[in-house]
Amino acid sequence: MTAFGLTEEQREFAARVRASAAGELRPLAEAGAPGRVNRDLLAAMGRLGLLARLFPGAATGGGSREAAAMDLCLLRESLATECTEAETALALQGLGSYPVLQSGREEQVRRWLPAVAAGEAVAAFALSEPGAGSDAAALELAAEPDGDGWRLTGTKTWISNAPEADFYTVFARTTPGAGARGVSAFLVPADRPGLSGKHLDMVSPHPIGTLTFDAVPVRGGELLGEADRGFVVAMRTLDLFRPSVGAFAVGMAQAALAAACEYAAGRTAFGGPLKDQQAVAHLLAEMATRTEAARLLVYSAASALDAGAPGVAGRSAMAKLFATETAQFVVDAAVQIHGARALQRGHLLEHLYREVRAPRIYEGASEIQRTIIARQLFK
């Protein structure tokens, strides 16, 4: 199914990504250990040039160094349709690296971005804490002045790619009691003394863990952007990636819908194909309609972001909200159509059922998106 407004070039690109994901990346993903960084998968994505699409102008020095929002959406939807592990690996590389690309020094960009694009270095975005999830401005990881730098003390948790990343974009409090205005962003290599971590065993199959900072030293040159302006660094990255979270969800919904249609066409029940049962046929129609509506909303938000249109925050929030909630519905409905077999370990829908839940929480929970949308209504 093709969304209205895509060019032939965009459709061909999406088809190539899906083919690479199905033929080359999925076997590597299946061979990896759940809940661990799959470096073989990342290396393959680097060889295929997929990770470099995150930083189109960084290697050549020409044009925009940031990916267009629409390109991110096409990448993430296409990968997710065939291999959610590859999609998540790409998204996490982008999320951890974009604060460096957008706000880092040129030497930081040259040191880390080529390695990330090649799949040789693993990035992570370290914002959430035990007491600071949706309310990110409440974070407490302390950055104490130390000569021309700082020492970081505290805990981060629910950090994707932790503790296996090679570097972290870390958000810490440089001014106590100042809320969002007292947060700074730092680039912290993983080999710093005092930095440790552990894996968390989560429902979602991608790597996630906690980080402990015990007076971890960071130099003045490792500040990203300006001191006490780290929240701006974080939001700049999240604003770009928010519509593409919706694209990830659309890809999962499309995969679940395709599986449900194939099963309903081949399964015989009550004397005929399952697809001829009105209850099933109408459910498939609802799944397809919601998936296409989510796709169009995501692409509309991405196009608006690329065009610099007004009201982008609200449109991006609508895209993430509707697409992630839709994906949850479609995957659940596909499981219902399949019955118990869909809940067997290793089944595509069992995998999607575990994968689909997290996007309704991370990078702004659905409730936060509704708050953003409501505020935009009265601006």
Mark whether 153 and 258 lie in a shared domain: no
Mark whether 35 and 171 lie in a shared domain: no
**Sign (positive or negative) of CA dihedral 25, 31, 35, 37:** negative
pLDDT score recorded for residue 2: 46
User: What's at 86, amino acid-wise?
Assistant: A
Q: In whole angstroms, give the CA distance from residue 208 to residue 162.
A: 5
Last residue of a domain, one of 122, 144, 164: 122
Determine whether 363 is an active site residue.
yes
3-state helix, strand and coil shares in percent for the chain, rounded to the nearest 5 = 60, 15, 25
Mark whether 14 and 26 lie in a shared domain: yes
- Which residues lie closer than 8 Å to 89 by C-beta, 6 or more apart? 38, 41, 42, 45, 206
Our CA angle for 312, 87, 42, nearest 5°, is: 125
- Which residues lie closer than 8 Å to 267 by C-beta, 6 or more apart? 273, 274
Check which CATH number belongs to the domain holding 183 and give it. Answer: 2.40.110.10
pLDDT score recorded for residue 5: 74
Mark whether 154 and 202 lie in a shared domain: yes
pLDDT score recorded for residue 1: 42
Q: Which of 30, 262, 363, 367 is flagged as catalytic?
A: 363
Check which CATH number belongs to the domain holding 117 and give it. Answer: 1.10.540.10
**pLDDT tens-place values along the chain, 379 residues long:** 444 678 999 999 999 999 999 999 999 999 999 899 999 999 999 999 999 999 987 655 545 688 999 999 999 999 999 999 999 999 999 999 999 999 999 999 999 999 999 999 999 999 999 998 888 788 999 999 999 999 999 999 999 999 999 999 999 999 999 988 999 999 999 999 999 999 999 998 889 999 999 999 999 999 999 999 999 999 999 999 999 999 999 999 999 999 999 999 999 888 889 999 999 999 999 999 999 999 999 999 999 999 999 989 999 999 999 999 999 999 999 999 999 999 999 999 999 999 999 999 999 999 999 999 999 999 8
User: What's at 252, amino acid-wise?
Assistant: M
Q: In whole angstroms, give the CA distance from residue 100 to residue 187.
A: 7
Residue 3 lies in a domain: no
pLDDT score recorded for residue 57: 72
Mark whether 68 and 86 lie in a shared domain: yes
